[in-house]
Amino acid sequence: MGKTKNNKFKRPSFSPDGLSATPVKQTVEESEDEDSPAAELLEKLQSPSADVREYSCASISRVVQQTQTIPGFLQRDAVRKIGPLLLDRSLAVRETAAGALRNLSACGGPEVCEDMVRQDVLTPLSALLRECCAGFDVSSSSTVKGQKHTVEGVANEAVNLLWNLCESSSTAVSVFNKTGLLDVLLHCLQRHSQNMELAISAAHCLHTVTEENAELMRSVNAAVFGVLENILFSTHTSLEYTLLRTLAAGSLWNLKSSLSSAQQSQTLTALATNLSHSLSLDAGELIPELWRAESARLSKETTSAADERLAGPEAEEMEEDVRDEKMNGRKPNGLISKTRNDISDLLPRDRLELREAKALLSAQQTSLEIIVNMYCSDEPSDDEWEEMSSSDESEMCADGMSDTNSSLFSPLCLSAELHTILLNHNIPQQVLKKAEFPSAAALEICRKDLTWKYLLKKMQRVQCRALTCLHNILSSMDTEFLGGASGLQAVAQHLSSLVFSSAEALKNEEFLEAVTSALRSLLQIMASKNIPQCMTPYQLMSFCETASSCELVSVRVNALAILGITGSSLAKENNTTDSLQLIGNALLNIAMKDSNLIVCGEALDALFDVFADGDEAEKAGTNINLLSSLKALQPGFRAKLRKEGKGKYSPDQLCVLDNMRINLKRFISYLENLQRK
């Protein structure tokens, strides 16, 4: 304990596209609900009329957005009934069938996606994608202006369905590898000059399937790198092209091990250039400009057309739903995930300015996620415990588990060359800038315009990604590269201003997790360098009180670690007894009352750090009856560990908790010896 593990962005277990993400379980009551529309709509799929089949698919696409209806469709074999329509003779039916399956995968969660793969939906989907690619050129030459359904429109729905499945299912990724769908995505990517929407969807999907995919690496050749590099070095200035280049950069980063040494240097420089450009764009200025441009354009159109556009169903669909449980970018093991909780695909094609604004924020979020992984450790995070206790004596670790866990702290994957490249492109400074709150002007516009409102969450997510990125940078870089003591104090001042400038932000769990991780890393570094901190104990107490009430264990653990770091620094100074008493009482209260043993253990560890040595600590410990309080909580901690341990916590966590039990016993003995002196 005391050292933090760098976060790494991983793919989520499913992609909600801004819709409800609650995993769907089939129940008898739901599946047999007489009012369920599933039976009637699925029956209409067999109609000889293409218009009826299209209507039924479109209706299913809308209905399944209400997740309570999904079990009724699954019980009636909806996937097997809709799947063949991907190859229907009607283009409109193909597109709406792909849309229905896409929404089913997005709203149903990982269980539904796995079930769809088991029911072989990838066979007709793969055939559809290949037919679309073969028909691109023919379609382009024969498309009638204003035609509602096109081959590329069908392909876009199909690629998004493939993306959903591959994000949610390792089986889908394996099928992707074996069936050679990489070529399909490359073909779609190459359509960027004709259909940017399709190219961006393909780029997102490619970014997903190239991540940690050793099997796919064997299929990667010069042609793949050629397509990605052509995009990376393109000079188009639109924000959608910025997003496309950023996604291409992400795929190249994922595939970097397949590049030769000579290629790597050039490619890494190009990656850093593109990431730097993406982050250099000021969303606070560009979003108001884009909104004003849209307003001016709409004012030239007829009032009725404008009213129809604003009152359509798209406006409601742009509202982002709150992700349930740990899925706001967090996986159960504590890793941070790339998330697809936006609905860019639902934006009307004529909302050009809004699409550009969305592309800007998506590009910046993706850029930050790539940079996080550049500064990350190769090994996965150790669940909610991000480190192991310093104690090497444990009953539960007698088999050597403690030794094996030291491998969790593998060397950082940031090479010296990449480190220099990122510094030369001012990446750390740009990350720090993005960690600021979004501009007031941009926030005001998005709050008052319903069709722009969903960008609020995207702006907040960019800030959270920047804070996570800052945490990794602080953990990885030499302090001299951050400006030495004065530079660290400036960063500390910046973070403290974020923490105390917005009471609303402290209610956001994602923000709390990101900012507490960054602040924890910073304070650890400052304490190790004996650099004075810029936050008073009372400010930290106020902040940690809020963080300690958060449901996320990682946030509570970070808050307690911050108190421990601050307290141990104060214990070395004079006239700090009152502050140490304040911190000690807070830590004791949590150690005794928190329901989670991980949090209790972190509180105890912080107490050991704060009251380990020094006259001020000894005086404060006596004043708060530290010894008697620890003696009182010791039996309960041991009993809870025996009762809940093996059923609720991982082996690594149990090892840390058992170390804590031993350290508690030792610390009580230490305090007793002090008292006898």
Please spell the DSSP secondary structure of 48-106, one letter per residue. Answer: S-HHHHHHHHHHHHHHTTSGGGHHHHHHTTHHHHHGGGGG-SSHHHHHHHHHHHHHHHH
- β-sheet bridge partners, residue 643: none
CA distance 200 to 444: 28
CA distance 461 to 280: 17
CA distance 113 to 101: 10
CA distance 658 to 405: 14
pLDDT tens-place string over residues 622-660: 999 999 999 999 999 999 898 887 778 888 889 999 999
By CB neighbour count within 10 A (0-12 exposed, 13-18 middle, 19+ buried), where does 438 fall?
buried
Return the pLDDT at 530.
Answer: 86
Residue with tokens 């004003």: 292
Residue 274, token pair as written in the block = 């593109």
Q: Tell me if 250 sits within 8 A of 209, measured CB to CB.
A: no
CA distance 410 to 379: 7
Residue 617, token pair as written in the block = 């600590």
CA distance 201 to 199: 5
Average pLDDT, the chain: 82
Q: What is the dihedral of CA 80, 86, 91, 97, to 10 degrees?
A: 50
Return the pLDDT at 538.
Answer: 79
Residue 336: phi and psi, rounded to 5, are -90, 140
Q: What is the dihedral of CA 356, 362, 365, 368, to 10 degrees?
A: -80
CA geometry: angle 442, 448, 453, nearest 5 deg? 70
pLDDT tens-place string over residues 183-202: 999 999 999 999 999 999 99
Q: Which amino acid is at 423?
A: L
Query: Residue 365: which of 177, 549, 514, 534 has the closest Cα?
Result: 514
Return the pLDDT at 250.
Answer: 96
Return the pLDDT at 334.
Answer: 34
Return the pLDDT at 293.
Answer: 93
SS3 state of residue 83: helix
CA geometry: angle 421, 427, 429, nearest 5 deg? 135
- β-sheet bridge partners, residue 377: 412
Rg over CA atoms, the chain:
27
- β-sheet bridge partners, residue 330: 336
Query: Residue 188: which of 170, 211, 209 has the closest Cα?
Result: 209
CB-based contacts of 467, cutoff 8 Å, min separation 6? 435, 498, 511, 514, 515, 517, 518
Quote the pTM value: 0.82
* Ranges under pLDDT 70 in the chain: 1-36, 138-148, 302-350, 377-414
Query: Residue 361: which of 422, 303, 439, 429 has the closest Cα?
Result: 439
Q: Tell me if 177 sits within 8 A of 215, measured CB to CB.
A: yes
CA 355, distance to chain mean position in Å, is: 21
Q: Tell me if 117 sits within 8 A of 125, measured CB to CB.
A: no
By CB neighbour count within 10 A (0-12 exposed, 13-18 middle, 19+ buried), where does 33 fall?
middle
CA distance 104 to 82: 11
Q: Tell me if 429 sits within 8 A of 491, measured CB to CB.
A: no
Q: Tell me if 11 sits within 8 A of 208, measured CB to CB.
A: yes
Longest dimension (CA), the chain: 94
Residue 112: phi and psi, rounded to 5, are -65, -40
Please report, in angstroms and rounded to a whole number, the separation of the first and last CA atoms in the chain: 30
- β-sheet bridge partners, residue 449: none
Query: Residue 166: which of 225, 217, 210 has the closest Cα?
Result: 210
CA distance 397 to 45: 60
